[in-house]
Structure 1
Amino acid sequence: MKVQEIRELIKLIDQSSLDELVVETDGSKVKMKKRTGVTYVEQEPVQQVVQEAKAPAASAPVAKPAVEKKVEEAPKAAAKVDVDDANLHKITSPMVGTFYQSPSPDEDAYVKVGSKVSEESVVCIVEAMKLFNEIEAEVEGEIVEVLVKDGQLVEYGQPLFLVKPE
């Protein structure tokens, strides 16, 4: 199978309610499983934090300051992105996988804030099913912000970088 076909399968699985898919063609076998726990585990704590903060809580004093801090930080970060987004291009993940800034742990990152990129510039790698997929900028400009951390799991369509187009 070609990499593009696998990417399309990943997109379809991600958008469907299927949890597992096995495809056998021309002597090769591709098996895909959703990690539904990973996707929802990251989202649920944020929702619970907001709900706990709104409730007239009888929660433990230790948990309350941590909840308030998380709730306060989220709007600040969102406001910053909203202001900058108008003129910036988002480089998004074409698949679900693990984000890597460099080709190997002992090498420098492909790009960092301030790096100039062309349309064909490799900006990162997303590992999916033990395949390392190089992600290109697809726009000419300057990297303004790196939105994810090295080794972080990313979702299909998740913004990875903000680029100021030239």
Structure 2
Amino acid sequence: MDLKKIKSLIQIISDSNIDEIRIKIDNTEIYMKNKTFIKNEKRSCYPTKVYSSSSISDFSDRFYKTGKENENQYLTIKSPMIGTFYRKPHPDQEPFVKIGDDIKIGTKVCVIETMKLFNDIESEVNGKLVKVMVEDASPVDYDQPLFLLDPIKS
């Protein structure tokens, strides 16, 4: 492995949420630990809910009716991954969707950047966009609500 590849790998690990990695190629073995990530990591002492693999793999679980009184008729589009949320394809361009837009199944609603990869997020439901739940260019967690949609009755 040449020095450029090693430096590139170090940069990728430093910029990510990976806390450690071991790579073995031929006779070269590299082990790296991301101390920055570990130092800033906050551990929770509260119990967490355990989900079965069937509920996690069910793609439709990302859309549910919210429990809030004034928002209980809306559908929620949730983040399918951890990353950075972007409403626009480029900072000087218009957002993919705006409040009041009619969203159809397959409409690109945002992009989530994860480890320098930009992932298109498409709607799995039809509806009218009512609220954007996340600020542009802010971090999002898996299953975090991104958009509220008023369902379109068919």
- Normalised by the length of structure 2, the TM-score is 0.58
Letter in 2 for 1:110: F
Alignment of 1:13-162 (within 5 A): 20=19, 22=21, 35=37, 40=42, 82-162=68-148
How many residues of Structure 1 are paired with residues of Structure 2 in the alignment?
Answer: 105
Letter in 2 for 1:120: G
Quote the offset at 1:112 in angstroms: 1.4
SS at match of 2:68: helix
Quote the offset at 1:83 in angstroms: 1.8
Where has structure 1 moved over 6 Å in runs of 4 or more?
36-39
Q: Which runs of 5+ in 2 are unaligned?
A: 1-16, 24-31, 45-66
How far apart are the structure 1 equivalents of 2:40 and 2:100? Answer: 32
SS at match of 2:70: helix
How has the CA–CA distance of structure 1 residues 135 and 37 changed in structure 2, closer, same or farther, with 3 Å as cutoff? farther
Name 1:51's counterpart in structure 2: none
How has the CA–CA distance of structure 1 residues 103 and 22 changed in structure 2, closer, same or farther, with 3 Å as cutoff? same
How far apart are the structure 2 equivalents of 1:36 and 1:90? Answer: 32
Quote the offset at 1:37 in angstroms: 6.9
Letter in 1 for 2:90: S
Letter in 1 for 2:77: I
Q: Which moved more, 1:148-157 or 1:81-90?
A: 81-90
Letter in 1 for 2:108: V
| Structure with the bigger percentage of helix | 1
State the identity %: 38
After superposition, the CA RMSD in angstroms is: 3.1
Q: Which runs of 5+ in 1 are unaligned?
A: 1-13, 25-30, 44-80
Letter in 1 for 2:115: M
Quote the offset at 1:154 in angstroms: 0.4
- Normalised by the length of structure 1, the TM-score is 0.54
How has the CA–CA distance of structure 1 residues 38 and 145 changed in structure 2, closer, same or farther, with 3 Å as cutoff? farther
Tell me if structure 1 keeps the 8 A contact 2:19–2:38. Answer: no
How far apart are the structure 1 equivalents of 2:85 and 2:75? Answer: 19
